[in-house]
Amino acid sequence: MTINEIQDEIIDEFSFFDDWMDKYEFIIDLGKKLPLIDASAKSDDKLIKGCQSRVWLDAKANGGKVQFTADSDAVITKGIISLLIRVMNDQPAKEIAEQELYFIDKIGLKEHLSPTRSNGLLSMVKQMKMYALKLA
């Protein structure tokens, strides 16, 4: 699937939820399921500093495509990361760098991207794109 096909799939999944608590239940569930990042990758240079929760992100190139692993000490953040990884993992580096992530706005997560929430998500997306640019 392409990045946009996955984004549309997520938007579709979220359309079933009536209120935020259901969305959070779903995101928390994703967070709990996210495969843990390798302990050696939890180093300070992989840390995306946010005010409230810590996020580690690692990327590897695999034949023109990029594979991401990540972790956070907050489970909602982890669930959101898991969505980002689902969209961008194993995609061509060039597309990761260039594709607009419209699903974040569509499923109502945009507020989590505002700098005032300071949970590092904005930096997380930036960092994923930076890795992709570097590996492209």
Partner 1 sequence: MVPPLGGQGVNIKKIRADFPILSTEMNGKPLIFLDRGASSQKPNQVIEAMDEYYKTTHANVHRGVYNLSQRATDQFEAARKTMQRFINAKHDHEVIFTRGTTEGINLVANSFGRKYLKEGDEVLISAMEHHSNIVPWQMACEVAGANLKVIPINDLGELNMTAFAEMVNEKTKIIAVMHVSNSLGTINPIKEITAFARKRGIPVLVDGAQATPHIKIDVQELDADFYVFSAHKMYGPTGMGLLYGKEELLNAMPPYHGGGEMIETCSFEKTTYNVLPFKFEAGTPDIAGAIGMAAAVDYIEEIGHEAIAQHEYDLLTYGTEKLKAIDSLQIIGKANNKASVISFLIDGAHPYDVGAILDKLGIAVRTGHHCTQPLMDLLNIPGTVRASFGVYNTREDVDVLVAGVARAARMLT
Q: Is 51 a catalytic residue?
A: yes
Query: Residue 115: which residues within 8 A CB-CB, separation 6 or more?
Result: 122
Stretch in the footprint of partner 1 (CB under 8 A) among 8-16, 47-55, 59-67, 98-106:
47-55
SS3 assignment, position 100? coil
Stretch in the footprint of partner 1 (CB under 8 A) among 3-11, 14-22, 95-103, 121-129:
14-22
Beta sheet of 65-72, edge-to-edge order: 47-48, 55-62, 65-72, 91-92
Of 4 and 118, the one with the shorter C-beta distance to partner 1 is: 118
Which of residues 21, 39, 40, 44 is near partner 1 by CB under 8 A? 21
Site string for partner 1, 95-134 (x = CB under 8 A): ------------------------x---------------
Of 1 and 47, the one with the shorter C-beta distance to partner 1 is: 47
Counting Cα atoms < 13 Å in the Cβ hemisphere of 22 gives 8
Region 48-87 residues binding partner 1, contact defined as CB under 8 A: 51-54, 73-77
CB of 21 to partner 1, least distance (A): 6
Q: What is the DSSP string of 3-56?
A: HHHHHHHHHHHHTT--SHHHHHHHHHHHHHHSPPPPGGG-SGGGEE--SSS-EE
Q: For residue 104, give the nearest of 92, 126, 121, 116 by alpha carbon.
A: 121
List of residues contacting partner 1 (CB under 8 A): 19-21, 24-25, 28, 51-54, 73-77, 119
